[in-house]
Structure 1
Amino acid sequence: MTLSHDVAGDGPVLVLLHSGVCDRQMWDAQWVTLIDAGYRLVRCDLRGFGGTPVPDRPHNDAEDVLALLDSLGIAQAALVGSSYGGRVALEVAARWPDRVSALALLCSALPGHEPSAELRALGEREEGLIEAGDLAGATELMVETWLGPDASETAREAVRQMQRHAFELQMSAAEEFEPIEAEIDLRAIQAPCLAVSGAHDLVDFRQIAARLPDLLAKADHVELPWAGHLPSLERPSVVTDLLLGFLKNSVSVG
C-alpha cells in the first residue's frame, strides 16, 4: 500500500512527517515557501491519518515511508518530523542512515521513551473519552493540550479537523493493528540534526529534545520560549525560517 502523499518542487528532497494529532495538511503554511527556496517536497499521511486508510495488517511506519521514497525514486532526503513524525524520522535515519541527509525534529517523540505520569494520564483521559463515544471531547482535549498560547483560532480549528478525522478513521477499523516495533540504534545516525522543543510543551518532549545532542553524533537543541507542542502551526513563518536556516547549512540547493 502506498501512503497518500503530495510531491512538488525541484531540488534536494525534503520529506515532511506529521504529528500524531494531525495529517499532512499540517504543513500547508510551509509548503510554498520551502518549494520556492529550491527544495523538492514530499509530504505523506501515515496509516490511519488523512487520506491513508487504517492498517489492515501489522505494519511499520518507517518502512512505509522508505517504501514511498523508493516508489518515487528518491535515494536520499532530509526529514522534517513533528512529534510522532519525528520518531518515525529517527527510525528511518537509524535503520537506513545513508538515505537521510539531515533531520529537523519539532517536539519529537523518541523510540523507547518511558512516558511521564502526566503523559500517561493524558492518554488515559483520551482513551476514556473515546470509549465513552465522546469524540468531540477527546478532540478538544488534544487541541487544548498540544497547541501553545500563541496558536491562532485558525490553527486550533485546523488541528480540530485533522484530529477529529483521524479519530473517525481509526474507529472505523474492523480490527486494530499496532505498529511493528523495530530495534534501532540511534548511534547509527550520522546526519546533522536540529532538535526543537517548546517551553510550553509537556516535559517528555522537552527532555527528549534536550537529550538528543547526547544521543546523536551531530545534533543541536533549540528551545522556543513561546511554543507548545506544534510550533509549525503556532508561528508558521518563524518555524519556516528556522528550518530554512538549518537546511541552508545542512543540505545544499543547486
Structure 2
Amino acid sequence: MVLLHSGVCDRRMWDPQWTALTAAGYRVIRPDLRGFGLSPVADGPYSDAGDVAELLRALGVERAAVAASSYGGRVALELAASRPELVAALALLCPAVPGHVPGPELRSFAEREDALLAAGDLDGAVELNVETFLGPEAGAEARDQVRVMQRRAFEVQLAAAEQFPQNRPEADLARIAAPCLAVSGAHDVPDFREIAAGLPERLPRARHVELAWAGHLPSLERPAEVTELLLDFLRVTVPPAQANLSH
C-alpha cells in the first residue's frame, strides 16, 4: 500500500490512515516527495512518478495499491499510466490529473500565492493555502497540521539554489486498468471536483463519490470517515492477504 501526499502537505497527512491500514493487515509505504517533509529538492531533472517506481523496485514490491491526495493523485495517475503493471488499485482523493488546464479560481489562487511568496509573506501564503484547501468542517487540529506541513514545504523549496524541472512520463490514462475510487469534496475548488467526477469517463474501472461535507483534504477533515471509505474500497479490490511487502 502506497500513500502519496498532496502538494500542501507531506507524508504526515496520512498519520490516521497509516495506523488503521497497518492494523487492517496492510504493509504501508508513505514517502515524502522531493521538496516536502524530510526529502530535499531534486539535484537534477527527475520524475515523482519515476521516484515512486524506483522506490517500489528498491523495496522489492512488484505490485501495490495506491491511495493519493491532490497532487499525489496526479503522480499516482502518471505511475499507473506509465507502469500499469505496478498498480493494483487507485484511491484518489480530490486528485489533480495530467494535462489539466487550471480554471479561473485555481489560477487566481496561484497568482495570490505567488504574490505573497514574492513579497516574502510566508505566513500569508500558508494561511491562503489553509483557507483555500480545507473545508468548513475542518477543525483547529487539521488547520494546524496543514500550517506545519505547508510551511515546511515552502521553507525547503524556497531555500533551494535551483529548482529542476520534472521529466514527466507520458500519461495515457487509457492504459490504466486498475480499479479506481475517485473522491471529490463538495466544498473543494471546482477544478478538483470536476476532475474526480470526470474520471469514470476516462478510466474503465473508476467510480466517483462526492463527500457533501468535504473540502480539498477530506482525510484530514474527517480522518475516521475517510479511513473507512478507503478500507471498504481496498477490502474488495486488494484484500490484505494480497498486500505486498513494504515499509
Instruction: Please classify the TM superposition score into its range, dividing by the shorter chain length.
Output: over 0.9
Normalization by structure 2: what TM-score? 0.96
Aligned mate of 2:105, from 115, 118, 141: 118
In 2, distance between residues paired with 1:253 and 1:109? 27
Deviations 1:72-125 (A, max 9, x none): 110000000000001000011011111110000000000001100110110010
The one-letter amino acid of 1:74's match is V
Q: Is it true that 1:42 corresponds to 2:29 in the alignment? A: yes
Mapping 1:238-253, distance limit 5 Å: 238-253=225-240
RMSD: 0.7
Whose strand proportion is higher, 1 or 2? 1
Matched, 1:168 2:155: yes
CA distance in 2, matches of 1:182, 1:75: 19
How many residues matched?
241
Moved more, 226-235 or 145-154: 145-154
Question: C-alpha offsets along residues 142-180 of structure 1, whole Å, 9 cap, x if unaligned?
Answer: 001000011110110000000001001001100111222
The residue aligned with 1:7 is none
Whether 1:204 aligns to 2:216 is no
What SS does structure 2 have at the residue aligned with 1:89? helix
Matched residues in 2 for 1:180 and 1:172: separation? 22
TM-score for both structures, normalised by structure 1: 0.94
Contact 2:81 2:170 in 1 (8 A): no
What is the DSSP-based 3-state SS (H/G/I as helix, E as strand, rest coil) of the residue aligned with 2:213? coil
For residue 64 of structure 1, report the CA deviation from its aligned partner: 0.4
Mapped pair 1:218 → 2:205:
yes
**CA–CA distance in structure 2, aligned partners of residues 19 and 208 of structure 1:** 15
Q: Give the drift of 1:219.
A: 0.2
- How far residue 182 of structure 1 moved from its aligned partner, in angstroms, is 2.5
The residue type equivalent to 2:73 in the other structure is G
SS at match of 2:164: coil
Q: 1:139 aligns with which of 126, 130, 138?
A: 126
- Following the alignment from structure 2 to structure 1, what is the Cα–Cα distance between the partners of residues 29 and 83? 18
Aligned to 1:188: 175
Shift of 1:183: 2.0
Tell me by how many angstroms 1:132 deviates: 0.4
The equivalent residue for 1:94 is 81
Structure 2 letter corresponding to 1:130: L
User: Partner amino acid for 1:149?
Assistant: P
Tell me the percent identity: 63
Give the superposition deviation at 1:181: 2.5
Give the distance between the partners of 2:180 and 2:171, measured in 1 at CA.
Answer: 17
Structure 2 matches for 1:104-115, cutoff 5 A?
104-115=91-102
User: What letter corresponds to residue 100 of structure 2 in structure 1?
Assistant: H
- Aligned AA for 2:145? A
Unaligned runs of 5+ in 1: 1-13
1:147 counterpart letter in structure 2: L
Supply the distance in 2 between the matched residues of 1:140 and 1:249 (Cα, whole angstroms). Answer: 39
1:27 aligns with 2:14: yes
Do structure 1's residue 234 and structure 2's residue 185 form an aligned pair? no
The residue type equivalent to 1:121 in the other structure is S
Residue 164 of structure 2 aligns with which residue?
Answer: 177
With 138-147 and 180-189 compared, the bigger mean Cα shift is at 180-189
Aligned-partner Cα distance in 1 for 2:165–2:210: 32
